[in-house]
Each structure stands twice: as structure tokens, then as C-alpha cells.
Structure 1
Amino acid sequence: MAILNYQPPTNPYIKVVYQDDHVLVLDKPSGLLTVPGKALEHRDCLQLRVQRVFPEARIVHRLDMATSGLIVMAFGKSNQGAIGKQFEQRQVDKTYQALVWEHIEDDSGTVSLPLICDWPNRPKQMVDHERGKPATTHWQVKSRNLENNVSLKKNIPFSLVELKPVTGRSHQLRVHMLSLGHPILGDRLYAHEQALAARPRLQLHACQLSFKHPQTDVQLNFESPPPFNI
């Protein structure tokens, strides 16, 4: 599936949460690619914006275009490798918040479903128990709400959930919540028509990120409140 009508936000152009000589933490807006797309019109992205200001900054990990929130970059190859190794060894603590369709009956749980690219419908991912790579997500309901949605012309129930991925597969949180029958609101890839219409953007935000500084080994902890209405 191609990127339709790519119009990345420009205000703010980049939002720096933390900066030192080795590490750069940013708050990425929804609608901005992390790295450039293949087409010329998809060149604008977080990586290129940051490198115009900080030429030595390097990508360590990615967030989906539609996902907002905390993302870390590193200055120089050695710092990139040191932080990247923490991601590979699952030593980085990542927490997301999401608004999902309807009220989830249980208060918490774990989804462990293997994922693989759905090639005929890429970039969508799908559950595949034979060929998929292991993927695990812990979730917890923070609140259950009801709102009068003007666009849908009715009251809709939704849940605010905290998501902690153990693995980092593409679209993992989106597919895992869908597997529970509770797609994330505003998800143009996986939400059904009503859940898609409930919000103008994907209601998924990387709200907490913790890792060890690549030079000092000191634990760094960052938080960013969700920019969507709860």
C-alpha cells in the first residue's frame, strides 16, 4: 500500500526532548516518516530533518509513520551501535499508550502471536503461526470511556491501554490489539470503518523510553504524554 497524500507536519519542525554529545531523544509527530521513503515526494522524514541540524545523528530504531512519540538517535557510529545493541538484547524499556475500540473485558494480559509481512497487502503485517517471527506484547487497561462521537453520530465505548512490547516487530502493537478484537482508533491499515472514523489519526503514542547511556552507562528515562484526547 502506497503512502497516500503524504503531508508531514512541520510545526514544530523537530522537537528535541534531550541532547548531549552522544545521544539525541526526540518526540516524533504522527504523520512523519522516520526514514525516507523510496519516492521523491516521501523524502521528508525525521532522519533528514534532524541531520540538517545535527549531521552526525544516526537512526537507532524506528516508529511507524502514523505513530507519535519518543525516539532516540545517536551521535556517531559507536554510540549508535551501543544503543542498538540494547534494543537487540531487549534491554530497552518501551511503553506506549493507545485508544482502542470498545471496552476490553479483562484488565490486563499478554499477546504472543508470530508476525510476518502480508506481501500482497504490504506494508500490512499478519499473524502466521508457521512462518511468522515471535512477537509478544503485554497490555493493561488504564481506563474505559464513553464519548459522544459527532462524526459517527452515536456514543462509542473505547479503552485507554498501556502497551509494553517485548519484541519490536513491524506493526506489532497494531496487529496484536486487532487480534484481541480491539483495533486502535484511527488506524487506516487495520481498523474497521467505525474505529477508523472515530479519530483523525492513529491513537498510538510512544510515551516512555528508558535505556543506558552509551558512554556513562547511566540509566536514562524519558516521558511524553499522549497528544490525543483521552
Structure 2
Amino acid sequence: MKHFQQFKTDISNINLPEKFTFPFYYEPHDLAIIAANELQEYLENQTDFQHDFGLQSDIKTVSIGKMFGVLVVKNKLQEIGYLAAFSGKFADHSLPEKFVPPVFNMRTEGSFYVKGEAELEEINQEISALKKDETYISLKKSVKKRIQHIEEDLAFQRKKMKIAKKERKIRKKNSGSILTESDFSILIKKLEQESFNDQFFYKELKAYYENDLQKKQAELAFFENKIASLKKERIQKSNYLQKTLFERYAFLNAKKEWKSLLDIFSDPMIKPPAGSGECAVPKLLQYAFLNDLEPICMAEFWWGISPNSEIRKHKNFYPACQSRCKPILTHMLQDLKMDENLLIESLTEHQEIPIIFEDDDLIVVNKPAEFLSVPGKEISDSVYSRMKEKYPEATGPLIVHRLDMSTSGILVLTKTKEANKILQSQFIKRTVKKRYVALLEGNLTEQKGTVKLPIRLDLDDRPKQLVDFENGKNAETYWEIIQIEDDITRVYFYPITGRTHQLRVHAAHKNGLNAPIVGDDLYGKKGKRLHLHAEFIEFLHPKTMEKMSFSVAPEF
């Protein structure tokens, strides 16, 4: 079994985990960390494949980082080893023996996919040849130029007709008092004839142009209809190829049950996301189940430069993705004993919510870290539910603004609908002043600055956000250093806008501060807590309109 790798490191003193890793939120087991370290050592020295991960500045190719995975397994001889895999494909399309094979190798010589790709490429070349045809290009230019000339000439004729009409009106008005009734009648008929002649000329000219243009457009249509027909054929072939591919992509679980992608993503209105089944973990589990290897634990890490949109840090561990992997892994891990899902484990039952101010209109609290502002899909305990229970007579929505579950600090609530409306208006108009304290990984080189990176939800990996200059919402953060100690930078954050995960993304993104917040389990390294605290807030009281400010120091 060439893909089963023995540990180089002595693991005899390490206890096996009792349950398999919950792949969507985890801290890597020691065995998985050792396996990852050994794989990373291989990546640093390998000569088996060519791929620019962006780690060497002298390489002049497109740099793309990649996710790698390790799966610690036990074989029939009760030996502990590990498997390795990578997501997607390498730049040179190679399949080094170090890694398990893909779930379905679509590029096997002579396969339906290779043939289908060749057919699509042939269509692409036909379309490209037609678009480059000199006659087609000449006709397009000619028709475009002719249309422009016709539009300009007809507009000119309409302008002339409008001026002539105005002049006829003046002649009619001025002649009414100086001409005899007989002469005036002759003039009226003459003016009417002029109007008729102008309109007749315009209609004839328009008809002539339309006829002339139709001849040229008919010649052009020969090319455009052919291109449209080829594009339609390309779509049909591509859809058929994709459907056949989804049928061939079948996944095994521990009970030796198979399911294709089409069965896993059973909603006929939703196609499996691009790249489904090409991630590292499904490849690893597939190989393990095919070869009767017992999964022990797993981990995935990023290797290389971060993408432009998502936040990925070199060598950091990451959970499996939600959109592509979760439906597949739900099938593959069926009936496998796994660690608890800490994402839905309520850690707040015995926590109190300190109230730092209260009057007839307001409640100001110090929200603990890992405490929801409002109820979630699977966790009902929240600041809102606690305050609703404590103040049953309160009217209105209570919540004015929110803090991320992982963020601690000052949260303002209202007891009345009127107070809520007034305070919400202040937040919308950005007149509320807020200051956060955070600890960042690493040393910042500047003392202060502003990060402007537009943000939107990562639809393929909720609840993460990503940077998107085309579809993202404007997001702006001012920051300044408080102090630097032991490669940890303490900063103030002043959010100008209030997007979801704004401070976390602006801190971690390579075009932001490139320094994740300590303990950030989404954009950095998981820790005991996210070191982000809403320390200060200032606003106008919704009834008295007096300036109010509150400050609570962080516990870190």
C-alpha cells in the first residue's frame, strides 16, 4: 500500500484519540500535527512536481497557495501511519506517489471527460476562428459604422423638419393679416404640401436605410448565427459532461455505502459547487475506506501565498469547507464516532452578563466572549434572550447593534421602541464613537493607519467573510498601536463602518494588516479566546440627548 506512510517521528508515547476529528471545527491532535510537520518538511524539499506556491520571490509564474491534508490511520496489522492529499490539482497536473489519488481521475487517457474536453476545445477553436475571420470583423465594423451614420442622418433630418415646421408656423402667423383670403388659402395649401413632402422624404429615406442595412446585417447574421449555434452546442455538451462527471464521482463511507455527487446534492435545482470532491479530506477518507484503513484523526493546513479574497496563512490549520465538503463528509463520516461539535456547544449557561448602566431607556452590558448577541440557529442562549427574560415589559427590539459571538465588550440595548429607533439612527449615521482593543500576531511596521477593504459573505464557507472589490460592501477601519511585546502587537481599532467580521478580516488579510487577531479561529489560529474587546462607546442619550460614554477594560 504505497500511500500508507510510516511516521518518521517516534509516536509510541502518544495516546490515540477516542473519537475521530470533527472536521468543521477542531484543534489538531498531536498525531495529526506530527503528520502535518512531516508532510511540510517534504514540501520544502520535494522535486516530484512543479507548482509555484508564492514562497520564492524569484519565480515568474502565477503564484497559487494550496490546501493540504493528513489523515492518521490504522491498518489491518494495527500499525499507525498517515495518508496525505492536496486539494484541486498542481500546476503541472501531476499525481505524485506521496499523495492519495483523486476520488475520480477524470483525466485518465481516453476517458469520457478527456474526450468531452477535446470536443469542447474544438468548439472553442471554431468560435475563435469565426470571431477572428476578417470578413466577419469587416462586416461588424461596417454595420456599426452604417448604423451610426443612419442614426446621425435621420437625427439631422428630424432637426431640419422641426426647424421647417417652426418656420411654416411663423409664415402662417405673419401672412394672416397681410394676405387676401384667397392668397392666404393658397399659402395654407402650400405649407401643408411642404409638411407632407418633408414627412414623405423622411419615411422614404428611413425605408431606404432599413433596406440597405438589412442586406449588410443578413451577411453579418450568417456569422453571428453560426457563433450562437456553436455556443448553444457548447453549453449542451458542457452540461452533459458535468452531469456525467457528477454521476461518476461516487463516495464511500465506513459502512461501504456509495453515493454519487448527484445523490449527495439531491436538490435538482442546486448543482454541486465547482470543485466538489476535489478537496483533501474526501480524497483521504475515500482511500482509507477503499483500503480498509481505520481513520484516527485528521488535519488540513494551507501551504503558500494567501488568495486575494479569502484569508489563508502559510502553515495554519483550517477546518473543512462548508459548501463543497460538508454534504460529502456528512455521508462519508456517517456512524463514525466523532468529537463533539464545539460550534453548537453552549459554554454560556453559567456565565453572567454584567450590567454596567441602566435607566428607563437603556441597558449597557459587558458581553462575555463566546456569547451570542442574539439567538442562533442551534444556540438559543444570548444577550437578547437573557435581557428579554429579565425585562419582560420592555418594548421594541431591544438590540440596537451586535458584537460577534467571539468578541467581548460593551453592548447597548434599549427598553423602548422610541429609544431603539433614535439610537439606531445614530449608528446608521455613524455618529456613535466606538473603540476596540485587540492583540495581533506579529509586529506591525507602522504606528497607525487606515484599512479600506470591501467585504462580503463567503457563500461557499459561511460564516466567513472575504474581500471582494467588485461585490463587497465598503468597509473602513482606523487603527493605532498601543504597544508591542514578544511579537504580539496591542492595537486600538476604530471602525468607521460596521461590517460583519470587519476588524477580524482587516487585521488578517494580506492587504490589510496581515496580522490575525490572537485566537481567531476563522482567520488565524484557534486559541482559548478571540483577543478582541469592545472597550469604549460614546453616543447621545435617546431621551435627554446628553452625551454618554462607557469604558470597560479588556481581560487580556
TM over 0.5: same fold? yes
1:48 aligns with 2:385: yes
The answer on whether the counterparts of 1:34 and 1:62 sit within 8 Å (CA) in structure 2 is yes
Residues in 1 aligned to 2:409 and 2:483: alpha-carbon distance in whole angstroms: 20
Higher relative contact order (CA 8 A, sep 6+): 1
* Amino acid paired to 2:386: R
Preserved CA contact (<8 Å) 2:348 2:381 = no
Deviation (angstroms), 1:7: 2.4
Distance 2:505 2:368 in 1: 21
What pairs with 1:103-142 in structure 2 (closer than 5 Å)?
A: 103-142=443-482
Bigger mean CA deviation after superposition, 43-52 or 54-63: 54-63
**Equivalent of 2:530 in 189, 202, 213:** 202
| Cα pair 1:13 1:49 within 8 Å, conserved | no
Provide the C-alpha distance between the structure 1 equivalents of 2:428 and 2:528, rounded to a whole number of angstroms: 33
Normalised to the residue count of structure 1, the TM-score between the two structures is: 0.88
Q: Which runs of 5+ in 2 are unaligned?
A: 1-321, 323-340
* Corresponding residue to 1:189 among 508, 516, 522: 522
Q: Which runs of 4+ in 1 moved over 4 A?
A: none
Alpha carbons 1:14, 1:50 under 8 Å: kept? no
Q: Does 1:215 align with 2:215?
A: no
1:114-156 residue CA offsets vs partner (Å, 9 max, x unmatched): 000001111100110000000000000000011xxxxxxxxxx
SS of structure 2 residue aligned to 1:121: coil
Amino acid at match of 1:114: P
Matches within 5 A, 1:79-90: 79-90=419-430
The residue aligned with 2:243 is none
Contact 2:349 2:381 in 1 (8 A): no
Aligned length: 211
Would you say the 8 A contact 1:82–1:214 is kept in 2? yes
Map 1:24-173; keep pairs closer than 5 Å.
24-39=363-378, 42-55=379-392, 56=394, 58-146=398-486, 157-173=487-503
Give 3-state SS (helix, strand or coil) of 1:129's partner: coil
Point out where structure 1 has 5 or more consecutive residues left out of the alignment: 147-156
1:52-111 Cα deviation digits (max 9, x unpaired) = 111216000000000000000001111100000000000000000000001111000000
Deviation digits for residues 18-62 of structure 1 (CA, Å, limit 9, x no counterpart): 0000011000000111000122xx001110011111121600000
Question: Looking at CA atoms only, which structure, 1 or 2, has the larger radius of gyration?
Answer: 2
SS of equivalent to 2:436: strand
% of aligned pairs identical? 39
Return the structure number with greater helix share: 2
Structure 1 residues 12 and 38, CA, compared in 2 at 3 Å: closer, same or farther?
A: closer
**SS in structure 1 at match of 2:543:** coil
Which residue of 1 is the match for residue 555 of structure 2? 227
**Residue identity opposite 2:381 in structure 1:** D
8 Å Cα contact 1:99/1:185 also seen in 2: yes
RMSD: 1.4
Structure with bigger strand share is: 1
- TM-score, normalised with respect to structure 2: 0.37
Do 1:27 and 1:70's aligned partners in 2 also have CA atoms closer than 8 Å? yes
